[in-house]
Amino acid sequence: MSLDTNDIATDVRERGPLSAIADTQVLPAQWRVHLGLITSVLVMASPLLLAFVMSTQTVPEVYDITDISVGTDGLANYAEVFTRYGMASYMFNSLVMSIVVTVAKIAVSLLAAVALVFYDFRFKNAIFFLILFTLMFPVPVRIVPLYEMMAALGWTNTLLALTGPYVASATAVFLLRQHFMSIPDSLVESAKVDGVGPLRFLWKVLIPMSRGMISGLSVITFIYAWNQYLWPLIVVSDQSKQVVQVGMKYLQSVGNAGQTDWGLIMAGAVLTLLPPLLALIVFRGPLLETFGLSE
């Protein structure tokens, strides 16, 4: 009995797409998918895994290049980088900066989004466009006058200079506006009938309804603020006020007798990565949803 391809096709159509024949024929065998994923995941993670291993090694162990066993230094590098090389203060400064930027950006953008969605006023489209168009002006495009402005205001080395330029956000206003527009009419109507003012409406109705979007935006903003490098490098010159990204640059010069203490530097790198990585892992649900991807 011969079974040509037409027969199989007919057979599949009759039995539905999940038939075993269709799967083996067309789907890539799952083991190949797993192999591909494991390989790419390992390639992407390997620098960090190695950095972590090396961060537990003493200087001689690090300089024994092929030694990738967990070192005998344990967490001593971490303790040292924290207490002797200013890591504690860098991380604290970064944390303050990131939290202030996140809270301020979300608060300010919520107000703007309420105005853009629940009000009708002159120049509304022009103002919305003006906000969106700021996407074309990243820090490097305005860095010289921005720095001059901070110097003139006496803001250099302060939290104001670190956070001020990050408060306005085209992305946050845009996403919150989209989100508010999708709220059902009935809810908005009842607020109108009850004569609830805009701020109360925002606090009592909109924010509770937008928890997912707000947490997603918060994680995005926190990671973005934590990872800033160029602007803090320029506007902060006092090491005790510096953020952790630029602290990495200071760490590079740590060493004895011409031997850079790479174990210590890797400990610093791992610590610098931890907060945004934890934020991503803990809040992956709302984060992915904000990007239009649910698990």
**Only segment of 60-68, 75-83, 85-93, 95-103 that touches other proteins (CB under 8 A):** 60-68
- Residue 237 or 240: which CB sits closer to other proteins? 237
- Please, what is the minimum distance in Å from the beta carbon of residue 22 to other proteins? 5
Establish if 34 lies at the interface with other proteins (CB under 8 A): yes
**How far is residue 81's CA from residue 247's CA, in Å, rounded to a whole number?**
11
Binding to other proteins in span 130-159, by CB under 8 A: 130-131, 134, 136-149
**Number of alpha carbons in the 13 Å side-chain half-sphere of residue 206:** 27
Answer whether 243's CB lies under 8 Å from 95's CB.
no
How many residues line the site for other proteins (CB under 8 A)? 107
Categorise residue 257: left if φ over 0, alpha if ψ from -120 to 50, beta otherwise. Answer: left
Question: Residue with structure tokens 């996403």?
Answer: 175
- Cα 137 from Cα 139, distance rounded (Å): 6
**C-beta separation of 91 from 242 below 8 A:** no
- Looking at the Cβ atoms of 72 and 252, the one nearer to other proteins is 252
For residues 148 and 153, give the distance between their C-alpha atoms in angstroms, rounded to a whole number: 9
Considering the complex, what minimum distance in angstroms separates the CB of residue 160 from other proteins?
A: 11
Kindly tell me which of 96 and 183 has the beta carbon lying closer to other proteins: 183
Residues with Cβ < 8 Å from 209, sequence gap 6 or more? 183, 187
Q: Which of residues 157-196 bind other proteins (CB under 8 A)?
A: 164-165, 167-168, 173, 180-181, 183, 185, 188, 191-192
- Dist CA 101 CA 219 (whole Å): 11
- Binding window for other proteins (CB under 8 A); candidates: 39-47, 69-77, 85-93, 95-103: 39-47
Residues in 77-96 that interact with other proteins by CB under 8 A: none
* Residue in the structure block whose two tokens are 């007798």: 257
258 scored as a contact of other proteins (CB under 8 A) = no
Please report how close the Cβ of residue 270 comes to other proteins at its closest, in angstroms: 8
Q: How far is the CB of 53 from other proteins (least distance, A)?
A: 10
- Choose one: 72-80, 95-103, 208-216, 271-279; the region binding other proteins (CB under 8 A): 271-279
Q: What x/- string results for residues 195 through 234 when contact with other proteins is judged by CB under 8 A?
A: ---x------------------------x--xx-xx--xx
How many beta carbons lie within 10 A of that of residue 82, not counting itself? 18
Could you tell me how far CA 224 lies from the centroid of its own chain?
Answer: 5
Stretch that binds other proteins, among 73-81, 95-103, 108-116, 210-218 (CB under 8 A): 108-116
Tokens of 290: 């904000």
Q: How far is the CB of 71 from other proteins (least distance, A)?
A: 14
Closest CA to 188 of 135, 119, 127: 119
Kindly state whether residue 119 participates in binding other proteins, applying the rule CB under 8 A.
Answer: yes
Q: In degrees rounded to 5, what are phi and psi of residue 258?
A: 80, -5
CB nearer other proteins, residue 146 or residue 241: 146
**Residue 109 contacts other proteins per CB under 8 A:** yes
CA 259 to chain centre: 34
Verify binding: residue 282, other proteins, rule CB under 8 A: no
DSSP secondary structure code for residue 28 in this structure: P
- Rounded CA-CA distance 108/166 in Å is 11
